[in-house]
Amino acid sequence: MNNIYIYKNKDVGILGLGVSGLAAAKVLLNSKANIFVFDDQKEKPSIIKKSSWINYNYWPWESIKTLVVSPGIPINNKEKHNAIKLAIDNNVQIINDIDLFVETNPKAKIIGVTGTNGKSTTAALLFHILKFNKIKSVICGNFGIPACSIKDPGEHGVIILELSSYQLDGAKNLSLDMAAIINITPDHLDYHENFDRYVSCKLKIINFLKTNGKFFFDKSNKLLNKIIDSKKYNSLKFVRIDKNEAKNFTNDNNYLKGTHNEINASIAISIAKKLSINDNKIQLAIKSFKGLSYRMEPLYISENLQIINDSKSTNGESTAAALKSFSNIFWIVGGKPKIDGIGHAKNFLDKVVEIFLIGNSTNYFSKEILKFNRKIPQNECITLEKATKLAIKKSKKSKLKNHVILFSPSAASFDQFKNFEDRGNKFKQIVNSQVDKGII
């Protein structure tokens, strides 16, 4: 467990006690800090003493030196949480879990990865390549374990830090050796208030690069090219990636299908090369890569049918990438809609055979789809179980060759599930049950 000596006997506030907040609490307790903790949405966990679990309105703000804010709570918005207002009024330093990670003083190279979609796949593939080639490495941040909890792999090791827009928004002191932005499309606008602020948060990753740090991005991405060409970034090395570079490495890996995965793989490969891993060793590593759960995850493959779990697709851009990768699709869609609805998924509706609507906003999604295609049959199913079973039944009746049942919701999960993992696990359970019963 990390020990940050500067916090010994210091009063520290922690706002929000999700995964990262809980990790921060453990590190600060190990550092002998006096912590004051509260979460508006949770009850006190067992590791927190009753004397530490106090509403922020009653914290000793005159003695608190630092406030650690969980990523989901906006630090810089006009409308601020009351605890953040109190911190500002009392000149308290406000940080997040990423700043706390920096204070553990890691010696390893740090590679930051962000993007609206694809950052987890890119980070996971790079981690897989490094581990396969016996390079000490750890993956953390928005994916894996909270950054402040990791054991530093040392000066010859690598830390892969996946960064969400929330984490970048709050971070102040990060220092990166390399960084990548996979893409930027509208998302989380309820948090960031508008797209310009969201873009600014993503671009902070470039500002966190060390002198002579390397920045990787897809050369075909018009938005990123325009932004980078319009700004003056001194002493940085920009590595423009050609997605075709991945084709010689992916070896028909089923977990890396689609143009979006060609981009993800090309960025991971390019970073691996900069870490002095040769082409042959990268290629061998990619052969054994099994992809991510909930992201274009094959659950069932037969001669004629694939069932794909893409529960992690919480926006239209991500679902568009999934639809683009297949044909003859029986599409399960719906949940808590984002501002852009189905977004760019509208451009690939010609690949869809039939639609199965779930969640509390089935009317919304039905109308969204009807705007762009009135011919695709729609089924209002509400529950994921009904939608999955009906999709299996209809796909069998269709007698189509090479068809796909694709669960790619294009929406958040919070109307019916805890998170996209919970939603994806439910889909797995339903599919596995149908396989066990011999229905598929």
Domain boundaries, the chain: 5-95, 105-287, 297-436
CB of 119 within 8 A of CB of 312?
A: no
DSSP class per residue in 164-227: -HHHHHH--S--EEEEEE----S--HHHHSSHHHHHHHHHHHHHTEEEEEEEEEETT-HHHHHH
Name the CATH topology of 297-436.
Protein-Tyrosine Phosphatase; Chain A (3.90.190)
CB of 277 within 8 A of CB of 138?
A: no
Name the nearest CA neighbour of 347 among 321, 367, 329, 328.
Answer: 321
Contacts of 91 (CB under 8 A, 6+ apart): none
105-287: which CATH architecture? 3-Layer(aba) Sandwich (3.40)
Q: Round to whole Å and give the CA distance between 129 and 133.
A: 6
Reduced to 3 states (helix: H, G, I; strand: E, B; else coil), residue 114 is strand
Name the nearest CA neighbour of 343 among 363, 314, 376.
Answer: 314
Contacts of 119 (CB under 8 A, 6+ apart): 113, 142, 143, 162, 163, 182
Reduced to 3 states (helix: H, G, I; strand: E, B; else coil), residue 122 is helix
Under CATH, which number does the domain 5-95 receive?
Answer: 3.40.50.720
Tens digit of pLDDT per residue, the chain (440 long)?
A: 898 999 999 999 999 999 999 999 999 999 999 999 999 988 998 889 999 999 999 999 999 999 999 998 989 888 899 999 999 999 999 999 999 999 999 999 999 999 988 999 999 999 999 999 999 999 999 988 999 999 999 999 999 999 999 999 999 999 999 999 999 987 665 666 688 888 999 999 999 999 889 999 999 999 998 888 877 676 678 899 998 888 888 877 878 888 889 999 999 999 999 999 999 999 999 999 988 889 999 999 998 999 999 999 999 989 999 999 999 999 999 999 988 889 999 999 999 999 999 999 999 999 999 999 999 999 999 999 999 999 999 999 998 989 999 999 999 999 999 999 999 999 999 999 999 999 98
Rounded to the nearest angstrom, the gap between the alpha carbon of residue 152 and the centroid of all alpha carbons in its chain is: 22
pTM of the model: 0.84
Residue 426 Cα distances to 79, 292, 384, 390, 413, angstroms: 36, 16, 8, 16, 12
Would the CATH topology of 5-95 be identical to that of 297-436?
Answer: no
Q: Round to whole Å and give the CA distance between 395 and 389.
A: 10
Reduced to 3 states (helix: H, G, I; strand: E, B; else coil), residue 161 is strand
